[in-house]
Amino acid sequence: MSLIVQKYGGSSVSDAESVKRVAKRIVETRKAGHDVVVAVSAMGDTTDELLDLAHTVTPLPEPRELDMLLSAGERISMAVLAMAIKGMGYDAQSFTGSQAGMLTDAHHGAARIVDVTPVRVRKALDSGAIAIVAGFQGFNRDTMDITTLGRGGSDTTAVALAAALDADICEIYTDVDGIFTSDPRVVPRAHKIDTVTSEEMLELAAAGAKVLYIRAVEYARRHGVTLHVRSSFSNNEGTLVINPKEGETVEQPIVTGVAIDLSEAKITVVGVPDVPGKAAQIFKIIARADANVDMIVQNVSAAATGLTDISFTLPKSEAQSVLTALRNERDDVKFASLQHDDQIGKLALVGAGMRTNTGVSARLFESLYDAGINIDMISTSEIRISVVTRADTIAEAARAVHTAFGLDGDVDAVVYAGTGR
Amino acid sequence: MSLIVQKYGGSSVSDAESVKRVAKRIVETRKAGHDVVVAVSAMGDTTDELLDLAHTVTPLPEPRELDMLLSAGERISMAVLAMAIKGMGYDAQSFTGSQAGMLTDAHHGAARIVDVTPVRVRKALDSGAIAIVAGFQGFNRDTMDITTLGRGGSDTTAVALAAALDADICEIYTDVDGIFTSDPRVVPRAHKIDTVTSEEMLELAAAGAKVLYIRAVEYARRHGVTLHVRSSFSNNEGTLVINPKEGETVEQPIVTGVAIDLSEAKITVVGVPDVPGKAAQIFKIIARADANVDMIVQNVSAAATGLTDISFTLPKSEAQSVLTALRNERDDVKFASLQHDDQIGKLALVGAGMRTNTGVSARLFESLYDAGINIDMISTSEIRISVVTRADTIAEAARAVHTAFGLDGDVDAVVYAGTGR
């Protein structure tokens, strides 16, 4: 008998019928002899509808009240799911974030988990019941207020419960079959990955793979929780996200996947005096504008002028405020001009095998060159190489690299319409 | 400066626009220098929609989960109301039943309040904020579970908060102007009552007046809370429900109002042996069928036969199960037959002045006789006389009695379409 934590997203519980289907799946897991804890998101578009309601009433809703409001969504889904399971003759009890001991800091809208004390969840399991826990929400002990965990919060709830309960596995149910070697809508020969390390998964998620949220993967990695990302619409095996121990060798291909991302823009600060402390000065300005900078590249200084260019990428939506912030400090920083490019695409090659294999970047650049694709920026980590190209060449680039590294499956992947939450 | 508790029902907060209108009214009360605590129901038909959802998933939802589900309704309305007030530049904080210290027993779906410890509400008031409390819900300390108070629960929440906070007044906002001398749809000359005692209000509510729930009036009476029942759609004064102290004389008309009720049926147990213990035996059977018996009349025994008839009224919906229960015990009780009549109407004349005035019943019977209306059953309390007549004569009966006791206003009452919650 194992202890299994399952997470179901909003698209898996969009109406009464799908709640019943999910209840059946949970009951089947219980019937197989396992203890089951479920983290559930709000039904369908409930969270967005509640957000709309809030913004109809006031343009800037109070964060504390917004969390109170949004937390009603999971309260509905968890109670309905629990009564559906009860209706099938199996014992089930639902718990809010606070009842499940999901203790967070007081940062409304994006609270961090500080402790998980699932005493009542454990008691429910001991009594033979299935425990249904509200995803996405927590509780701050100092203010005694309800908090929410922000985007992907239900994934984090599931992983945190799995860690605190020492679960055997944390199953993340979504509307795709698992993690793919690339986006099947762009690369038809992309195929599902059977196993990926959490380290690789982090790089893939950071590079644009949308199925899992970085925060949940980080939490799983830190606490050694094994994830199983799978579809709630089939019984197929999905993708295992594992945490090999220090020194443990896992048979892995050199390259696990090719992630692409069209959501970023590039800003270049042109003609920056090449003196110590300049980069720090620039990125302090950017940090004050609350921007999430991704890649940073500084060109070699042209000896004649003593000037250099600094380029960085960031989410498109944050570009304008950063441009304004930099312009306001131009006299201080003494740069020549700013360039803004929102027609870029990012491609990231990820694989733990890169560590011990040479020539990966050479093969990457060669395959792009063969496809006639120009590289704009390059950035590398231990197990990832990212390149920025023109947005309109990104699909061709992904297909070329996918083929060059032997990732192509035998058949085209089936593409689903929906997106995970 | 006073402390005012206001209660707004679902029809007063049916959408974003009406939430803003209610927020404005609350802010105006605050601006006038008062401390304000608000008990709010779920928006519009939310509670019914959640009930429907539950019944789509399973025919008999688990009571604990149903309470968890339904409590989401007030969580939404209170948060939206609080953020609307915040948006107007006034401080507001929302509190769930448990955060507001609304402690109940564990009877899910119809929990009784056992203690009210509004520490956080008091703290919010002390900091200058308006406190918004979820109506209808509470918390059981033993099970640590969410409960709901049942029908009219938000009225009870408001009254309980007013009592615990020693508020100066508890304003119950609804969609009618107050308590009327009779139902204006039946008696056009009915008029709003300015002041009524809680004792009279209890009798009126028990006799079919729907504006206030008996339980909330009982609570107000027991704790000496003054209620002000008024419309959330106008600034008119409504009806004060007061608690005169022992011995205190209140200038009152002999008769306060004429309530009518068409929701009951009459059952007569015919030919019951007139021996001690028979009535007890019969009403034990009825109690086991969970029926709410209202009026009971036993005729004088016919000396020749030693048999008597026992009649009682009860909600129409409960008649069939009681008839079945009685039929099953016929051999034991040894009655002759059962009569069932669902075409009855009940009229109740209520007034604290009856205590010290003789001739009230004579005048009632005379006015009905003059109108050619036959009386079927009579039952009296200290401050109420109820009669049962044919359903199709009840309107005429009400108008005749209303006139006979000088209750007619100078003009016809304005009739609103909606009904309060």
What pLDDT was estimated at residue A48?
94
DSSP conformation letters of A63-113: HHHHHHHHHHHHHHHHHHHHHHHHHTT--EEEE-TTTTTEEE-S-TTSPPE
Tell me the pLDDT tens digit for each residue of A169-212. 999 998 889 999 998 889 999 999 999 999 999 988 888 777 88
Q: Are strands A35-40 and A130-134 parallel, antiparallel or unpaired?
A: parallel
What pLDDT was estimated at residue B277?
83
Mean pLDDT of chain A: 91
Query: Contact A53/B76, CB-based, under 8 Å?
Result: yes
Residue A261 three-state SS = strand
Whether residue B80 lies within 8 A of chain A, CB to CB, comes out as: yes
Q: Which residues of chain B have pLDDT under 70?
A: 247, 249-252, 300-303, 413-421
Which of B20, B71, B79 is opposite residue A65, by nearest beta carbon?
B79
Whether residue A75 lies within 8 A of chain B, CB to CB, comes out as: yes
The mean per-residue pLDDT over the stretch A26-45 comes to 97
Give me the percent of chain A exceeding a pLDDT of 90: 72
Per DSSP, A352 falls in state G
How far apart CA A47 and CA A42 sit, in angstroms, is: 6
Q: Would you tell me which CATH number, out of the four given (3.40.109.10, 3.30.70.2610, 3.40.50.150, 3.40.1160.10), belongs to the domain B3-174?
A: 3.40.1160.10
Which of A69, A82, A87 is opposite residue B79, by nearest beta carbon?
A69
Query: Contact A94/B65, CB-based, under 8 Å?
Result: yes
Which of A16, A57, A60 is opposite residue B57, by nearest beta carbon?
A16
Question: Tokens at residue B62, please?
Answer: 């688990």
Question: Which of A14, A46, A74, A80 is the best substitution to test chain B (most B C-beta atoms within 10 A)?
Answer: A80
How far is residue B217 from each of residues B54, B113, B204, B220, B385, measured CA to CA in Å? Answer: 31, 14, 11, 5, 20
Strand ranges (E), B46-144: 92-95, 102-104, 113-116, 130-134, 137-140
What pLDDT was estimated at residue A349?
93
The pLDDT of residue A250 is above 90:
no
Q: Is the pTM of this model over 0.90?
A: no
Residues of B in contact with A94 (CB under 8 A): 65, 68
Report the chain A residue with the minimal C-alpha distance to residue B51. A80
Exposure string over A201-232, b if 16+ CB within 10 A, otherwise e:
bbbbbbbbbbbbbbbbbbbbbebebbbbbbbb
Question: Tokens at residue A100, please?
Answer: 């499940």
How far apart CA A285 and CA A272 sit, in angstroms, is: 14
How far apart CA B256 and CA A272 sit, in angstroms, is: 87
**Dihedral (Cα; A5, A11, A15, A21), 10-degree rounding:** -50
CATH topology of domain A3-249: Carbamate kinase (3.40.1160)
Decide which of A375 and B95 is more confident: B95
What pLDDT was estimated at residue B208?
74
Question: Tokens at residue B118, please?
Answer: 């509004």
Query: Contact A80/B19, CB-based, under 8 Å?
Result: no
What pLDDT was estimated at residue A420?
35
How far apart CA B125 and CA B122 sit, in angstroms, is: 5
User: Are the beta carbons of A382 and A169 closer than 8 angstroms?
Assistant: no
Report the chain A residue with the minimal C-alpha distance to residue B86. A62
**Domain limits of chain A?**
3-249
Taking the mean position of all CA atoms in its chain, how far away is CA B380? 20
Which of B59, B62, B80 is opposite residue A53, by nearest beta carbon?
B80
Q: Are strands B113-116 and B102-104 parallel, antiparallel or unpaired?
A: antiparallel
